[in-house]
Amino acid sequence: MAKIEYDELVQLLQDGKIGHLRVLLESDDAEAYLEWCEQHGIEPSEESAEFYYDETEIDMMERQLIDDECYGIWN
């Protein structure tokens, strides 16, 4: 099955068709999330995924700003 683009995952999440756990596990953040779970002595779950997602997620507008190629020119 082809990998779903992140934007599409977020859209599915917002539509309530998938949960936070699937978003994380199918995104580039999967490894970081699983490592975080291990470091916190918990199993991956919908609850912890939602928390991890909320702590790390940058909304699309911010992501677009921050990913800009000239980001940080003045810093």
- Residues at the interface with another protein (CB under 8 A): 32, 38-42, 45, 47-48, 50-52, 54-58, 61-66, 68-75
The alpha-carbon radius of gyration of the chain (Å, integer) is 14
| Closer to another protein by Cβ: residue 2 or 73 | 73
| Closer to another protein by Cβ: residue 34 or 66 | 66
DSSP at 44: -
68 residue type, one letter:
D
| Closer to another protein by Cβ: residue 15 or 72 | 72
Q: CA–CA separation, 16 vs 13, rounded Å?
A: 5
